[in-house]
Chain A
């Protein structure tokens, strides 16, 4: 984790209305209200707008298969060194069909032999967007061989959105939720 204590504390149960609590639990498919949501909830107008866009990226019918969406999110979170994002999305990735060896290989990247050509193109795209905010001609051609424009749009936006989420989690210092374990590769960051 970048910070061992939050710079901005999450809201406690006493200030979250029962309606909002129910909505956030349902959204996260979790009995807990997540620390990220408790922190976003400091400003309801911000949270509504942010979750409207985030919700589209996470929706099941946006053109990018959920398993591959989770690959882009996990690779982005790992590259941005967000321990919180990684811990949340290994759970979601597993739910969408990523195996344990695949989740481990996301840390290694596109060159791991476990990946199909389509998966590899997405991981290369994520790396290029992280480093250069641009997809090179070579990787663009690989993406076009496996995905339509609608799916590529969402893949780029997923990389961008989870870059924003990582910036937020890292900088505000959102701490892990109960029951989560920090990945040792993301533990001791300055």
Chain B
């Protein structure tokens, strides 16, 4: 984690006005409210607008299959050194069909034994992280396995989780109860 304690503390469970409670109730899962949402909702207008876009990326409206989407998100979170993002999406990735072994391999990059289609996704995320541009070779490789629309959704997905990493890292959002940090991600500065 970049910070050991938050710079902006999340709302405590049960705290907040009616509007904030309503926004938190829309984030779609049972169980305790995640720290990322309890932090964002301190700016309710921004949280609501952000969630409209965030829900698109994570929904079936996006043309990417969930497993492929999670490869892009995990690789982006890893490159942005967001321990929180990587930890949350380890769980979501497992629910979306990635194995524990594959999630470990995401840290190793495109050469770590992936299928051609999966390797193309990792190269796609790497190009966007390093140069904010998908090179001709990687774009052509991606189009062998994915439609143009899926490639556009892949760009949005990498961008969105770069943005989320910037916020998580800089506000110092801490892991939720019961989560453990991958030791390789512990000492990010």
Contact = CB atoms under 8 A, between A and B. Distances in A.
B132 A160 contact: no
B148 A8 contact: yes
A45 B61 contact: yes
B187 to A, nearest CB: 14
Contact of B42 (A129, A149, A160, A171): A149
A46 B56 CA distance: 7
Given A82-B132, A167-B159, A168-B155, A160 B166 contact: yes
Given A133-B82, A133-B165, A167 B56 contact: no
A149 B53 contact: no
A171 B156 CA distance: 11
A7 B52 CA distance: 27
A82 B132 CA distance: 9
Contacts of B56: 45-46, 49-50
A135 B153 contact: no
B139 A171 contact: yes
Nearest to B159: A164
- How large, as a class, is the contact surface on chain B? 35 or more
B61 A49 contact: yes
Chain A interface, >50% SS class: helix
A171 B149 contact: no
Contact of B170 (A63, A129, A154, A171): A129
Contacts of B155: 164, 167-168, 171-172
Given A129-B170, A134-B170, A157-B167, A52 B52 contact: yes
Nearest to A151: B43
B82 A167 contact: no
Contact of B53 (A52, A153, A172): A52
A179 B153 CA distance: 29
Contact of A134 (B45, B156, B169): B169
A169 B53 CA distance: 18
A42 B128 CA distance: 22
B94 interface: no
A56 B46 contact: yes
B107 interface: no
Nearest to B136: A3
Interface of B: 2, 7-8, 40, 42-43, 45-46, 49-50, 52-53, 55-56, 61-63, 80-82, 128, 132-134, 139, 148-149, 152-153, 155-156, 158-160, 162-167, 169-171
13 contacts: A53-B53, A62-B45, A62-B46, A82-B132, A134-B81, A135-B170, A140-B7, A150-B43, A150-B46, A153-B42, A156-B170, A167-B132, A172-B155
